Chain A
Amino acid sequence: MLITHKNLLLNIAFCATLVVASIMTIVAADAHGYSREGLEIKHPWTRVAPPGAKVAVGFMKITNTGKEADRLIGGSFALSDRVEVHEMSVTDGVMRMGEVKGGLEVVPGATVVLEPGSYHLMLMGLSGSPKLDERVKGTLRFEKAGDIEVEFAVAPLGAKSHSDKNGSPDAKHEHGGHDMKHHH
């Protein structure tokens, strides 16, 4: 079969389109955001929680693009009873965690990062573990902007960031398939 010049060009164009399309899909899947009232919320995410866990964590980046300071004071999460804004730190080997009194302030132009080992949404009274790659509905409550609806992406157990795929894909059912428990 002869490959004509035109055919070859068509093939290249086709492949290029596929590559671009898949990159766009990956980017779209990896970054989701919400904005309202001068607040930009980037990639809210949580992790698969171990079976029986009554708490989980929510992370994200919040940028204030407006002219007024605002405060994250709470929110809701479809799989939990209540949500608190927490701060966590490890000093001299001791982990300390507690509510951020009065909420987490985001001043104009600033970005506040909720991430492992630091600020987080404490998702309390969990009714079930978030499942990998599903989206869990929730809201973020701001003092001035009010409630902003978001969806939390679900990263594996042990994930250090929303794009960390190295964690365990499922806390409960992966003992055989995943290389988690193969030494008995």
Chain B
Amino acid sequence: MAAKTTLLARLRFALWGLVALAAVIAGALVLGHMQEAARQGASLPGAVRIGGEFELIDQNGKAFSSERLKAKPHAVFFGFTHCPDICPTTLYEMTKHLEALGSKANDLAVLFITVDPARDTPEQLNKYLSAFDSRIIGLSGSEAQVADVTKKYRIVAEKVGTSDGGYTMNHTATVFLFDGKGTLVSTLSWEEDEKTRQAKLDRLAERG
């Protein structure tokens, strides 16, 4: 009787051990898969496509088409110059990252697209961007052109009125990283530390 109980107890113990082991393996597999998926970005099953063709005007008043991004890795982010904190900071950080990349960044296209074309004319973008790395391309256009590109990049961009009758904008602040085939491979976020962002950009510049 006593021997039988002990045997059962041991068996139960062994089974629970197996369950725990299976859980650990499953966890590791899921985690690995998630990391891989995160690394590959757009290859997530069922992920919506971000990006697409567009026609805009650069800060020198010249037409800029998405054709120019063919076979070029590129970083794309949206903002506006009436933005006091996140936009100048992101541009400043991008400037530092490009400096760190040096000439390796020459084949990388970095686009800052305005969500506020009414106030961010090419001239305004030109002035504003003169404080940052000259490789950053500032893009504006007609309201329709900007609406088209924000839709294709699935950007949130909404006007919020201020008490003086003016407005500010809520907008997606993520930096999207695309490879030369136009596939979204990673993103940079505001909360990430500088080293992580730099590593992602280094990898993007290398993969071409």
CB of A171 within 8 A of CB of B84, answer: no
Q: Which A residues from 55 to 85 make CB contacts under 8 A with B?
A: 55-57, 82, 84
Is A41 interfacial (CB-CB < 8 Å)? Answer: no
Distance between Cα atoms of A94 and B172 in the complex (Å): 4
> Closest CB-CB distance, B69 to chain A, in whole Å?
20
Q: With contacts A97-B168, A158-B93 known, is A117 near B156, CB below 8 A?
A: no
B 70-92 contacts with A by CB, 8 A: 81-86, 88-89, 91-92
Give the residues in chain A near B172, CB-CB below 8 Å: 93-95
Which interface class (under 10, 10 to 19, 20 to 34, 35 or more) fits B? 35 or more
Closest residue of chain B to A122, judged by CB?
Answer: B84
Complex contacts, A53 vs chain B, CB 8 Å: 81, 84, 88, 128
B130 touches A157 (CB 8 A): no
Q: Are B134 and A184 in contact (CB under 8 A)?
A: yes
CB <8 Å contact, A90 and B88: no
Q: How far is the CB of A7 from chain B (nearest CB, A)?
A: 49
Selected contact of A93 from candidates B133, B160, B174, CB within 8 Å: B174
Instruction: Specify which chain A residues have a CB less than 8 angstroms from the CB of B134 in the assembled complex.
Output: 181, 184
Which of B1-9, B14-22, B25-33, B97-105 participates in binding chain A? B97-105
A88 vs B91: C-alpha distance when bound (angstroms):
18
Say yes or no: is B13 at the interface (Cβ < 8 Å to chain A): no
Task: Please determine whether A96 and B84 come into contact, CB atoms closer than 8 angstroms.
Answer: no
| Contact indicator A181/B133 (Cβ below 8 Å) | yes
- Residue pair B84, A120 in contact (C-beta under 8 Å): yes
B142 at the interface (CB under 8 A from A): no
Is B106 located at the chain interface by the 8 A CB criterion? Answer: yes
Give CA–CA (A22, B31) in the complex, Å. Answer: 53
A13-71 residues with Cβ-Cβ distance < 8 A to B are: 47, 49-57
A24 to chain B, nearest CB (A): 32
A-B pairs, 4 with minimum CB distance: A158-B92, A52-B127, A171-B131, A93-B174
Could you jot down 8 A-B contacts, CB within 8 Å? A55-B82, A56-B84, A90-B86, A94-B173, A95-B171, A158-B92, A180-B99, A181-B133
Name A's B-contacting residues (CB within 8 A).
47, 49-57, 82, 84, 88, 90, 93-99, 116-117, 120, 122-124, 157-158, 167-168, 171-172, 179-184
Residues on B facing A (Cβ under 8 Å)? 81-86, 88-89, 91-93, 95-96, 98-99, 102-103, 105-106, 119, 124, 127-135, 156, 160, 162-164, 166, 168, 170-174, 187, 189-191
